[in-house]
Structure 1
Amino acid sequence: MKSFDVAVIGSGPGGYVAAIRCAQLGMKTAIIEKYATKGGTCLNVGCIPSKALLDSSHHYEDSVKHFKEHGIEISGDIKVNLEKMIARKQDVVDQTTKGIDFLMDKNKIESFQGVGSFKDKTHINITNSEGETETIEAKHSIIATGSKPRSLPGIEIDKERIITSTEALSLKEIPKHLILIGGGVIGLELGQVYGRLGAEVTVIEYMDRIIPTMDSAMSKEMKKVLRKAGVKFALSHEVQSVERNGDEITIKAKDSKKDKEVEFKGDYCLVSVGRKPYTDGLNAENAGVKLNDRGQVEVNDKLQTATDNIYAIGDVITGAMLAHKAEEEGTFVAETIAGQKPHINYNLIPNVVYTWPEIASVGKTEEQLKEDGVEYKSGEFPMRALGRSRASGDVDGLVKILADKKTDEVLGVHMIGARTADLIAEAVTAMEFRASAEDIARMSHAHPTYAEAVKEAALAATEDRAIHI
């Protein structure tokens, strides 16, 4: 029987980062993955493939709608080759997952393919696709089994016409009318992909706004942008049923504002109502690991389970289901096992929606500050006031900075616009060092850049001193 200092169950961003950090700290490490490729949901059917399709569809939309205004003329019809677009996406995924294999070899981490399940607190059974089982011993284990798409009661996902994000990444045709159940991150990103390629897109959302967990200013601006692109919205609608008849999908929903039933028809329905923890086959109870009523693994502030030598990270525990949150937790647990004293500030884990314009935020929203009774001040700056935005044609969006009314410490930064997924790192850095709005306002920002909007929003929050509006 092979013995290890640490065994990681799951090779997504949390799992493989935890394994690498454990190996760097001198621990003999094993990683167990159910599927043939490593990388988990993020690399295989999540973050990476969706961004590949977002970029491809963005290029297509630019060529059809915006090239002429840049003085670029293309003769002949511009056509979408969806098969090639999907193949390119898969090539990006393959390259990325192979990179994980390289990192495992480089760090001398032993890989096992199969379902990892606890025999007891120090022994893990690994069962491969042929049904053969191997048992390894581990002083410590890290559960990093991630999540799966969630559905709603009464909806049968057939993976053909009624689909999840996994199937939406590999469609054989462009939908005529794609209906999204859920106006969160996954729905908006994939809806924009197919909307750009010619699909009619309708978003059905239970709440009264899209991306409801983000600052309301972001929801309002994104809705305006998507409406301009032809996306239809049915907000405050509760889905009652989803039925398929051949190639037609019929969705019935209750409009809670008008108290009446509404019917929608399309040829594809993407159910994007969030994700749920995945622990199937883990046999957590054999190791004394406890799950809560939401199926999440219960952990303490050290991410330790009820069994002190077993930890859990990422989507399988409480908190935002974000790849970079899982990575931070993977590093945190590895360093904790090694006797170090790491920390994670969950308030400073950024959140990003990779639509175009991109949406990014960190810290508290205005709604949260109001609910907590915190006195704050707000500064905003529109992207269209930037020379860089006008030069590129990306004028939609704004940056909003919330600061403590008395101390001027930055409490939250929310932005929508070109490259805000990258810009948000400036806000995270500033808030990690507890910067004030004036600190950001006094920093020199290169001109012309999108980042100038951050400086201007900080100036706006500092005695309304924005220069360019």
Structure 2
Amino acid sequence: MLERQNKHQLKAFGLQVVVAKYDRQGVVDHANNLASKTRSNLTNFLKALGVDILTSVGTILSPQKVRYGKAGMPENVITTKDIIIVIGSVPFVPNGIEVDDKTVITSDHALKLEFIPEWMAIVGSGYIGLKFSDIHTTLGSEVTFIEALDQFMPRFDFEIGKLAQRVLINPCKIDYHTDLFESKITLVKDGKPIIIELVDAKTKETKNTLELDDATLTAIGRAPFTKGLGLENINVETPCGFVPVDDQMQITDAEGNLVPHLYCIGDANRKLMLAHAY
């Protein structure tokens, strides 16, 4: 009875235990179902509290006014007591990298898991790259990391980085290069492989070129999704796209003054880019 329950539970995760194999579509479906269920639960929770949800694009006109409306549709303006910006972030893609969401992908697209590459190059060895490395090596991919700084997982505490490398990297025999950054990534075209040109981070000299037919994941980091918010309308500057806030998450303008009724939480402010770091 217990064995049957375990098999049923594993099947819900897209896993089968008859032989050592996995169901790729089952894994994707499980991830999508979790995201859909979470989204639905949050939506229902907000509606139960009396929150009106408008699916649209918004532009801030003043600390208490927002213009919204989809392209080609009439625009509307709403007035409210306070505005909280929770716009989130998008994958950061540096100059010189072409992304086609097929062979050169970001972390957002990697979640769809449309195929399992035999060999994947991951640009950036932080927690995003590490997470997808763990997934893909478990599913059978070979992984090569490319890190611009002088050590693997450079933004982690040194001891945590050593532990993660010992547990998650060394057993998988993952190849990685430090002190190198990608100056250019060219997509697969006319049957030709992906070309990754590697440059020495200190001397800026070309050091190596990687060619692969499968996939490259750019996992350098994420950038705030603040373009088009209209913050310039209220004299708020966004250095590197981030919205400046104080310890209470209230937005400050270009002169450092608090903007009344206007707040920003989540990835888009200058705090930690974590969902729970408000």
TM-score by length of 2: 0.84
* Residue identity opposite 1:319 in structure 2: K
Kept after mapping to 1: 8 A contact 2:67/2:76: yes
Match of 1:152 in 2: 94
Number of equivalences: 256
Shift in CA distance, 289/298, structure 1 to aligned 2, threshold 3 Å: farther
Match of 1:415 in 2: none
What is the distance in 2 between the residues matched to 1:301 and 1:289? 20
What is the distance in 2 between the residues matched to 1:107 and 1:173? 41
Q: CA deviation at 1:311?
A: 1.3
1:312 maps onto 2:257 in alignment: no
Match of 1:278 in 2: 225
Shift in CA distance, 234/167, structure 1 to aligned 2, threshold 3 Å: same
Match of 1:236 in 2: 179
Match of 1:296 in 2: 242
Q: CA deviation at 1:56?
A: 5.4
Secondary structure of the corresponding residue to residue 319 of structure 1: coil
Find the partner of 2:31 among 89, 94, 113: 89
Secondary structure of the corresponding residue to residue 217 of structure 1: helix
What is the distance in 2 between the residues matched to 1:239 and 1:299? 33
Match of 1:252 in 2: 197
Match of 1:182 in 2: 124
Kept after mapping to 2: 8 A contact 1:289/1:297: no
1:169 maps onto 2:169 in alignment: no
Match of 2:133 in 1: 191
* Residue identity opposite 2:154 in structure 1: P
Shift in CA distance, 289/96, structure 1 to aligned 2, threshold 3 Å: farther
Kept after mapping to 2: 8 A contact 1:113/1:126: no
Kept after mapping to 2: 8 A contact 1:182/1:273: yes
| Identical aligned residues as a percent | 26
Q: CA deviation at 1:152?
A: 1.5
What is the distance in 1 between the residues matched to 2:171 and 2:206? 27
Shift in CA distance, 130/89, structure 1 to aligned 2, threshold 3 Å: farther
Q: CA deviation at 1:83?
A: 1.4
1:191-222, CA deviations, whole angstroms, 9 ceiling, x for partnerless residues?
11111111111111111223222211111222
What is the distance in 1 between the residues matched to 2:26 and 2:222? 29
The list of structure 1 runs, each at least 4 consecutive aligned residues, that deviate by more than 3 angstroms after superposition, is 255-260
TM-score by length of 1: 0.51
Higher relative contact order (CA 8 A, sep 6+): 2
1:248-292, CA deviations, whole angstroms, 9 ceiling, x for partnerless residues?
212111245896611222210100111111112211122x15123
Shift in CA distance, 112/260, structure 1 to aligned 2, threshold 3 Å: closer
1:301-340, CA deviations, whole angstroms, 9 ceiling, x for partnerless residues?
3322232221112211112100110xxx2xxxxxxxxxxx
Kept after mapping to 1: 8 A contact 2:63/2:260: no
Match of 1:33 in 2: none
What is the distance in 2 between the residues matched to 1:279 and 1:109? 23
Q: CA deviation at 1:232?
A: 1.2
Shift in CA distance, 141/289, structure 1 to aligned 2, threshold 3 Å: farther
* Residue identity opposite 1:233 in structure 2: Y
What is the distance in 2 between the residues matched to 1:132 and 1:295? 28
Find the partner of 1:133 among 75, 83, 99: 75
Q: CA deviation at 1:166?
A: 1.0
Match of 2:66 in 1: 124
* Residue identity opposite 2:114 in structure 1: K
* Residue identity opposite 2:173 in structure 1: G
Correspondence list, 1:305-384, <5 A: 305=251, 306=253, 307-325=259-277, 329=278
Q: Which runs of 5+ in 1 are unaligned?
A: 1-54, 64-73, 330-469
What is the distance in 2 between the residues matched to 1:289 and 1:145? 19
Kept after mapping to 1: 8 A contact 2:93/2:220: yes
What is the distance in 1 between the residues matched to 2:198 and 2:149? 13
* Residue identity opposite 1:148 in structure 2: V
1:80 maps onto 2:32 in alignment: no
What is the distance in 2 between the residues matched to 1:222 and 1:301? 32
1:346-393, CA deviations, whole angstroms, 9 ceiling, x for partnerless residues?
xxxxxxxxxxxxxxxxxxxxxxxxxxxxxxxxxxxxxxxxxxxxxxxx
Q: CA deviation at 1:160?
A: 1.4
* Residue identity opposite 1:292 in structure 2: T
1:205 maps onto 2:147 in alignment: yes
What is the distance in 1 between the residues matched to 2:200 and 2:68? 48
